[in-house]
Amino acid sequence: MASKNGKILVVDDNAGIRRALEILLPMHFAQVRTIPSPATLVPELETFRPQVVLLDMNFNTSINTGNEGLYWTGEIKKMAPEVEVVLFTAYADIALAVEGMKRGAFDFIVKPWENDKLIEVLTGARDKALKAMRPDTRSMPGMTKDVWTGMTGEGSGDHMFWGTSPAMKAIRKTLDKIAPTDATVLITGENGTGKDVLAREIHAHSLRKGKPMVAVDAGAITETLFESELFGHVKGAFTDAHTDHIGKFEQADGSTLFLDEIGNIPPHLQAKLLRAIQSRSIVRVGGSEAKPVDIRLICATNMDLEALVREGRFREDLFYRINTVRLALPPLRERKEDIVPLAELFLERFAQKYHRQLDGITPEAGEVLKSHRWGGNIRELQNCIEKAVILSDGRELTAQDIQLDARPENPLRNDAEEERLVRDAMQRSRGNISAAAKLLGVSRPTLYAKLKKYNL
C-alpha cells in the first residue's frame, strides 16, 4: 500500500491539471492543496506548510516564458529552504527547468507526464524533506527544521585535482617548494583551467593558512573605485564615503591577496598597484597616513603579459615584480588522461546534488569526452557533466547524454582573437551580457571589463 505521508502544494493555472492531481495525489500524500496562481503562494507556505511544492513554470501573466517559475523557485528556497520544489514544465522549456534545478529545485516533470514517474519524483522530494527534519518533529505534519542546508554544494569540490599528467605533476612539485615561502606567484592559463583553485591550494599549504585568502577580480573593478577597493578610503573622501572603508590589501594583512585578471588593469592604475606592492604599505583614499601591510601576493591572468609589455600596455617593472615564480596551468586538451577521472568526480558530486542514481560513465562516453577540444577547459567539463547528470535516464552516462557545444579551440588567446570572440558572443546573444559571458566561459564582471577594454 502506498505511503501517505507529508503535504504537497500544487501551483498550476490549468484547472484540468489541478483536478487530475487532486484525484491522483491523495493516494500518496496525507494532504494535498492546489492553487491556480503563485499570487497566494506565500500565505499558503505559511499556513499549509507543505514539504513539497509542485510548481508550474508558466502562468498567464506578462512575465517572460518560464521566468516566473524560476523566480518563485528562488523565493520558495529563500523563504522555506526545507521545502522541496518540483518544477512542472513543457518539453520545450527543459533548459529552463535545468536552470531551476541549479537554483535549488529538487527535480522537474515534463508535461504530459507519466503517473509513475510523477509519483516517484514527488515522493522522493517528500521523503528527502521529511528526512531533513529534526527527529523530534519528523512525525508532526508541517514541522520542519529552521534551516536546511542540504549538501555542501559547489565549495565541496574546490580542491585541486592534480591528475597524472606530467605538467600537473611538475606544478605540484613546484607548489610543495614555494607554498611555505612568501614568494610572489603568477599563475597563467586559459579560462577555466582552475587558476583560482590553484591560488587557494598555494594558500592552504602556506604558513598564512590560518587566515582566509582575500580574492579580487582586478579586471572587474571600475577605474573610479580601483583605489578605494584595493586601498580603502576614509570617511568624507568622496560624496558617498559615509564611513571608513578597509580595502583588500588591509583585509589580507597577515594572509594572502589573490589578484585575478591582473592583465586587465589599465596602465595608469598599474603604477598605483606597483607602488603598494613595492612599499608593502597603502594610503587610503582621502587619507595621509601610510599603513604597512603584510601580504603574500598571488596574481593570475589568461593574457600574454610579455606581449602586453612589448605593446606598452603592461608595465615591465610590475611584470617582473609579480613574476617571481610562474605556474602555467595546461589546458584540459593537453592533459587528456585526466579528463575522464575529472568527469567521474563531477558525476559523483552532481549525482548527489540532483538525487540521481548513477554508477559511472560508459567507455563510449569517455571517448567522446577525450576527443573534445574543451575550449572552456575544466569549467566547461563541469558544466557538461552537470547537464548530463540532470537529463540522464539510465544508471550510467552514455555518449548520448554528453551534449557538447562547439567552442573556439583557444578562446581569448590574444587580444585580436579576444576582441573578435567578445564581439561575436555579444552578437550571438543579441547583447545579453549573461548569455554572452556563458558563451565565452567568463564571469559577467570580466565580460564588462573586456567590453570596456575594446570599446564595445
* Third-level CATH fold of 157-328: Rossmann fold (3.40.50)
> Looking at the domain that runs over 7-131, which CATH code has it been given?
3.40.50.2300
Extract the runs of DSSP E, i.e. beta strands, from 256-380: 256-260, 281-283, 290-292, 296-301, 325-328, 360-361
At 26 the pLDDT is 92
At 215 the pLDDT is 92
* Inter-residue contact 334 to 182 (CB < 8 Å): no
pLDDT in tens, the chain (456 residues): 455 788 999 999 888 899 999 999 999 998 999 998 887 788 788 778 899 999 998 775 444 455 778 888 988 988 888 899 999 887 666 777 888 888 889 988 988 888 989 999 999 999 888 887 643 333 333 333 222 222 222 333 457 888 888 999 999 999 999 999 999 999 999 989 999 999 999 999 999 999 999 999 887 787 778 888 899 888 887 777 778 888 899 999 999 999 999 998 888 899 999 999 999 999 998 888 899 999 999 999 999 999 999 999 999 999 999 999 999 999 999 999 999 999 998 998 898 888 888 888 999 999 999 999 998 899 999 999 999 999 888 889 999 999 886 544 444 445 667 787 888 778 777 777 777 776 777 766 677 778 877 778
332-401 CATH pick, 1.10.8.60, 3.20.20.220, 1.20.1440.130, 2.60.40.1120: 1.10.8.60
Rounded CA-CA distance 234/287 in Å is: 6
C-alpha cell belonging to residue 220: 572587474
* Farthest CA pair distance, the chain: 77
**Which of the 8 DSSP states describes residue 337?**
G
**Which of the 8 DSSP states describes residue 313?**
S
At 3 the pLDDT is 59
Rounded CA-CA distance 271/204 in Å is: 30
SS3 443: coil
CATH 1.10.760 fits 415-453, yes or no: no
Alpha-carbon dihedral angle through residues 383, 387, 388, 389, given to the nearest 10 degrees: 100
At 28 the pLDDT is 92
Rounded CA-CA distance 353/18 in Å is: 29
Question: In DSSP terms, which residues pair with 10 in a beta bridge?
Answer: 34, 54
At 65 the pLDDT is 53
At 138 the pLDDT is 37
Rounded CA-CA distance 152/455 in Å is: 40
At 34 the pLDDT is 92
Position 158, amino acid: D
Rounded CA-CA distance 102/389 in Å is: 12
Domain boundaries, the chain: 7-131, 157-328, 332-401, 415-453
Are 157-328 and 415-453 the same fold in CATH?
Answer: no
DSSP secondary structure string for all residues of 204-263: HTSTTTTS--EEEEGGGS-GGGHHHHHH-B-TTSSTT--S-B--HHHHTTTSEEEEESGG
Question: In DSSP terms, which residues pair with 156 in a beta bridge?
Answer: none
SS3 20: helix
At 378 the pLDDT is 93
* Inter-residue contact 300 to 196 (CB < 8 Å): yes
Cα-trace Rg, the chain: 25
At 155 the pLDDT is 33
At 278 the pLDDT is 93
SS3 326: strand
At 118 the pLDDT is 93
At 354 the pLDDT is 86
Cβ count near 39 (within 10 Å): 11
How many Cα neighbours within 13 Å face the side chain of 169?
6
Report how far apart, in Å, the C-alpha atoms of 442 and of each of 77, 436, 450, 455 are.
27, 9, 10, 18
At 137 the pLDDT is 35
Residues sharing a CB contact under 8 Å with residue 71, sequence separation 6 or more, in sequence order = 63
